[in-house]
Structure 1
Amino acid sequence: MKHSVLLDTSFFVRLLNDQDNLHNNAKGYFRYFLENEIVLKVSTISIAEYCVKGKIDELPLRNVQIIPFNLDQAQRTGEFAQVIFTENKVSKAKLEPRAIIPNDSKLFAQADLDITITYFVTSDGRSKNTLATLKKQINPKFEIIDIASPYNEIFGILDLH
Structure 2
Amino acid sequence: MLDTSFCIRLLDKNDALHQNALDYFKYFLLEKISIHISTIAVAEYAVGDDPANLPINNLQIEAFDFLDAKTAGVFHKEIKGNQSNILNYQRRIITNDVKILAQIGTKKIEAIISKDINSLKQYVQPLIIANLLQVKFFDLNTPLSAVLGKLF
> Under a length normalisation based on structure 2, what TM-score does the superposition of the two structures give?
0.91
Greater mean alpha carbon deviation, residues 22-31 or residues 92-101: 92-101
Query: 2:7 matched to 1:15?
Result: no
**Within the alignment, does 1:47 sit opposite 2:39 as a pair?**
no
- Counterpart amino acid of 2:115? S
Match in the other structure for 1:120 = 112
1:1-161 mapped onto 2 (5 Å cutoff): 6-86=1-81, 90=83, 94=87, 96-115=89-108, 117-129=109-121, 130-156=123-149, 158=150, 160=152
RMSD: 1.9
Work out the CA distance in 1 between the residues paired with 2:93 and 2:73: 11
**Do the aligned partners of 1:120 and 1:143 also contact (CA within 8 Å) in 2?**
yes
Q: Which has the higher strand share?
A: 1
CA distance in 2, matches of 1:92, 1:31: 38
Structure 2 counterpart SS, 1:145: strand
CA distance in 2, matches of 1:38, 1:139: 24
Q: Show CA shifts across 1:98-128 (max 9, x none).
A: 111100100001111122x211111111121
Contact 1:127/1:144 (8 A) holds in 2 = no
Aligned length: 151
SS in 2 for 1:140: coil
**Greater shift in the superposed pair: 130-139 or 89-98:** 89-98
2-structure distance, mates of 1:56, 1:50 = 6
- CA shift, 1:141, in A, is 1.6
Give the 4+ runs in structure 1 shifted more than 6 A: none
**Cα distance, 1:95 vs structure 2:** 7.3
Question: TM-score normalized by structure 1?
Answer: 0.86
